[in-house]
Structure 1
Amino acid sequence: MDAGELRELLSLDGLRLLDELPPAESKEDVVTAVAGLRRQGHPPALVAAVLSQRKLRARARAKFGEFAERMLFTEAGLEQATRLQVAALHAGRFADAGATRVADLGCGIGADALAFASLGLDVVAVDRDEVTAAIAGFNLAPFSNATVRQGEAEGFDLAGFDGVYLDPARRSGSRRLNDAADWSPSLDVAFGLARATASGGVKLGPGIDRELIPADCEAQWVSVDREVVELGAWFGAAAREGVRRSALVLGKHGAARLDGAADSEDEPPGGLGEYLYEPDGAVIRARLIGDLARSLDARMLHPTIAYVTADRLMPTPFAQAFRITATLALDIRSLKREFAARGIGSLEIKKRGVDVDPAALRTKLGLRGDAAATLILTRVGERRLALLAERV
């Protein structure tokens, strides 16, 4: 979005149309909406801006729920924005640490600042991009305890703040920046700013090189509905004492947390039990698989593979459980015969530790029938196995 498109949206006609126009469910709906708005005499630029924003609002419901209907977005801003439930937990960190005034540097469209302000924290949200800062200002307008400024994170005066939160820009246009020194602010600067107040937090991508994570922070990987969405590096009072590795798993069960003082040691591998657990991605990223296995009275399936196995079932929010119904050789012809005999026509294929293309395998199996199953391709010791399973 450029400044001209934003001006169209923020006009009286733009805001009115944005609120009145129903979401487009199909391309035909879009064509009909465009034709209708043009017949009413609205200029093409305004029509394009409003329809683009309606599309973004519809996508934003996954992150912001009903609040999306009163917010403005950019394509990049929505993609990078923190989910509302995760932002609320960020805000809780600062509140629990006793913070009262937080600087949100690199605020984007203002998702985290919204949560900070909603919890009663005074927040100053800063973004270097003029259009993005203006959108954050619109989104934060209902909160008298929130202020938005355009500016750089580097050199921001933190005097009077007892909390600071940063989300370094990891893209330049559509290009992802792989070198942390090229981020804005750079990773070293971001960590330095996070240490400059009593409580600090830095939002990072979950796949960041672990060698870049400082030893003096609590590193928490967060997953939402089994998708790992971020790594939070927490400093000072925002970090919990004695915790250096954490997996926060959010889902229908609510919120569950697995904490460790360091990367946990794996359990020794053992024989395949009746149950196999696939740890949540946040647990894997945090390298807490060993602690999870011990909590389940389980063992590793293989020293280098993130599956654990047990002889009895124990419920856990930190892994998906499967009951093994058959142990088969990883051979196309024998698998094809087995599935035909069982009438399996719907097959979920999961794999770890084997070089197999699930899509190609599915085609070769020629599945037919009404039964459904899960096929787990992995290794036990030096053997490659195909485990027929059902989700618990």
Structure 2
Amino acid sequence: MDPDAFAWLLTPPGQQLLARAEQACAEHADPVARAEAVRRTGASAERATTALAQAELRIRAVAKFGELASRMYFTPDGLEQATRLPVARHRAGRLTAATPHSLLDLGCGIGGDLVAFADAGLTAAGVDTDPLRVAIARANLEALDLPGAVQVADGTTLDLSPFDVVYADPARRGARGRVFDAEGWTPPWSFITSLLRRASVVKLAPGLDHDLVPGGIEAEWVSDRGDVKEAVLWSSWLATCARRATVLGAGGLATLTEEDDPWHLTPADRPVGDVGAFLYEPDGAVIRAGLVTAVAAGVDGRLVDPRIAWVTADAAYSTPFARGYRVVEEVPFREKPLRAALRARGIGALTIKTRGVAVTPEQLRPRLALRGDSAATLVLTRVADKGCAFLVEPLSPAQTAP
């Protein structure tokens, strides 16, 4: 889709064709049947393709934008790169608490973050070098009746001083795929570090190397419904800690920082001990933020190994920062006796969780050749430098103490 095709899509005839394409998507699961239904309107092949592609993108976008998706516009790349709405709203909420008068979104893409900023009441503007993305971002603000200005510009060449806060989400993919060299991002890491010397927020991939984070900057890892979605750098004007893990879920928001970790200043004193009656699997954001021992402190527990992100405790606790399991029994770690033990227990369906061991669940499961009517969860990990295996049961809320 080019800017002219998108501009036509916003006209009354374009909106009518888009509505027909959405109806076709609702009535037909088969892509061919959908296309035939849209072409029967008499639209040109190009316009029919544009409308149908947009209708299908709106369906895919529900996972990220919920009910707003049915009124928004997307490109495939723009949707893939856009922040999930709950995550964007969390970031906008933090910024609102800082009461900035204005915010500039550098490289705003299709405007997903702009939507969250504007909806939170922030005076926000966006720039992008791609005319189509700018047109889509502008249309999304208008479709949702939200204020905001968007224009085509290279943010690295602008005078940023009029804005209280600058937000950036560097592009980390190029024509050849993912770019691993931070200086090859758009904008490059050298620009990002200069940006962090003022009031700014930078969204990065969750695999961010801790060593890249400049001093005085808060690094926040955010997960949504169990998936680690991003790392966010908050400059010293906005930072409230050094490391933070934020977990978003059905129960709301929970956050953990190094101040919740009694061992954050003395890692050599981290508690390590034998596996107790319960195991806790920390959320990915907690692991990325290096706050596993904060979870251990929260459940009055300890690590099973100083280098592995499993926490064990002698009691059942409810925590938003980890999934809890009751340890049923220890079983053999070696494959042949493990297979025999699982078969003896009639286990036919097996969930395998590995950490700290060179075992791939997808490869192990068929080799076990399980037969039986029971289902189980198997944890393969290392305890005191020794491979261990445990059958466990996920804890339900009723089995845990707050």
TM-score (norm 2): 0.91
Provide the C-alpha distance between the structure 2 equivalents of 1:27 and 1:304, rounded to a whole number of angstroms: 51
Corresponding position of 2:244: 246
Provide the C-alpha distance between the structure 2 equivalents of 1:387 and 1:250, rounded to a whole number of angstroms: 29
Aligned to 1:350, the other structure's residue is in SS state strand
For residues 115-150 of structure 1, give each alpha carbon's deviation from its aligned partner in whole angstroms, at most 9, with x where no partner exists: 111122211111111111111111112546300011
Provide the C-alpha distance between the structure 2 equivalents of 1:276 and 1:126, rounded to a whole number of angstroms: 47
Corresponding position of 1:30: 31
Provide the C-alpha distance between the structure 2 equivalents of 1:15 and 1:391, rounded to a whole number of angstroms: 49
Corresponding position of 2:339: 336
Residue pairs, 1:74-93, within 5 angstroms: 74-93=75-94
Moved more, 247-256 or 2-11: 2-11
Corresponding position of 1:105: 106
Provide the C-alpha distance between the structure 2 equivalents of 1:381 and 1:193, rounded to a whole number of angstroms: 44
1:236 Cα deviation from its structure 2 partner: 3.8
Q: Are 1:267 and 1:294, in contact at CA under 8 Å, matched by a contact in 2?
A: no
Corresponding position of 1:256: 254
Corresponding position of 2:166: 164
Identical positions, percent: 44
For residues 285-328 of structure 1, give each alpha carbon's deviation from its aligned partner in whole angstroms, at most 9, with x where no partner exists: 00011122122111111121111111111111101111111101
Say whether residues 1:42 and 2:43 are aligned partners. Answer: yes
For residues 73-93 of structure 1, give each alpha carbon's deviation from its aligned partner in whole angstroms, at most 9, with x where no partner exists: 111111111111111121112
Q: Are 1:205 and 1:230, in contact at CA under 8 Å, matched by a contact in 2?
A: yes
Provide the C-alpha distance between the structure 2 equivalents of 1:86 and 1:238, rounded to a whole number of angstroms: 18
Moved more, 87-96 or 23-32: 23-32
Q: CA RMSD in A?
A: 1.9
Corresponding position of 2:355: 352
| Count of aligned pairs | 388
User: Partner letter of residue 136 of structure 2?
Assistant: I
Aligned to 2:235, the other structure's residue is in SS state strand
Aligned to 1:238, the other structure's residue is in SS state coil
Corresponding position of 2:182: 180
Give unpaired runs (5+ residues) of structure 2: 396-402
Say whether residues 1:387 and 2:390 are aligned partners. Answer: yes
Aligned to 2:349, the other structure's residue is in SS state strand
Provide the C-alpha distance between the structure 2 equivalents of 1:191 and 1:59, rounded to a whole number of angstroms: 34
Residue pairs, 1:47-86, within 5 angstroms: 47-86=48-87
Corresponding position of 1:319: 322
Provide the C-alpha distance between the structure 1 equivalents of 2:192 and 2:27, rounded to a whole number of angstroms: 42
User: Partner letter of residue 253 of structure 2?
Assistant: A
Aligned to 2:362, the other structure's residue is in SS state helix
Query: Compared with structure 1, are the counterparts of its residues 83 and 257 closer, same or farther at alpha carbon in structure 2 (3 Å cutoff)?
Result: same
1:100 Cα deviation from its structure 2 partner: 1.8
1:101 Cα deviation from its structure 2 partner: 0.9
Provide the C-alpha distance between the structure 1 equivalents of 2:291 and 2:215, rounded to a whole number of angstroms: 17
Say whether residues 1:155 and 2:157 are aligned partners. Answer: yes
Provide the C-alpha distance between the structure 2 equivalents of 1:386 and 1:84, rounded to a whole number of angstroms: 39
Query: Compared with structure 1, are the counterparts of its residues 216 and 208 closer, same or farther at alpha carbon in structure 2 (3 Å cutoff)?
Result: same
Corresponding position of 1:232: 232
Corresponding position of 2:296: 293
Corresponding position of 1:267: 270
Aligned to 1:356, the other structure's residue is in SS state coil
Provide the C-alpha distance between the structure 2 equivalents of 1:336 and 1:50, rounded to a whole number of angstroms: 53
Corresponding position of 1:217: 217
Corresponding position of 1:145: 147
Query: Compared with structure 1, are the counterparts of its residues 331 and 231 closer, same or farther at alpha carbon in structure 2 (3 Å cutoff)?
Result: same
Corresponding position of 2:96: 95
User: Partner letter of residue 235 of structure 2?
Assistant: F
User: Partner letter of residue 35 of structure 2?
Assistant: V
Q: Are 1:191 and 1:202, in contact at CA under 8 Å, matched by a contact in 2?
A: no
Aligned to 1:208, the other structure's residue is in SS state coil
Corresponding position of 1:120: 121
Provide the C-alpha distance between the structure 2 equivalents of 1:174 and 1:2, rounded to a whole number of angstroms: 22
Moved more, 59-68 or 208-217: 208-217
- Deviating above 4 A after TM superposition, structure 1's stretches of 4 or more consecutive aligned residues are 25-28
Aligned to 1:302, the other structure's residue is in SS state coil
Provide the C-alpha distance between the structure 1 equivalents of 2:361 and 2:27, rounded to a whole number of angstroms: 32
Provide the C-alpha distance between the structure 2 equivalents of 1:28 and 1:174, rounded to a whole number of angstroms: 33
For residues 323-376 of structure 1, give each alpha carbon's deviation from its aligned partner in whole angstroms, at most 9, with x where no partner exists: 111101212222222222221111100001111121222112222222111000
Corresponding position of 1:284: 287
User: Partner letter of residue 101 of structure 1?
Assistant: S
Provide the C-alpha distance between the structure 2 equivalents of 1:26 and 1:379, rounded to a whole number of angstroms: 52
Q: Are 1:105 and 1:127, in contact at CA under 8 Å, matched by a contact in 2?
A: yes
Aligned to 2:56, the other structure's residue is in SS state helix
Q: Are 1:164 and 1:194, in contact at CA under 8 Å, matched by a contact in 2?
A: no
Provide the C-alpha distance between the structure 2 equivalents of 1:25 and 1:144, rounded to a whole number of angstroms: 28
Provide the C-alpha distance between the structure 2 equivalents of 1:202 and 1:364, rounded to a whole number of angstroms: 45
Q: Are 1:23 and 1:55, in contact at CA under 8 Å, matched by a contact in 2?
A: no
1:171 Cα deviation from its structure 2 partner: 1.4
1:55 Cα deviation from its structure 2 partner: 1.5
User: Partner letter of residue 298 of structure 1?
Assistant: G
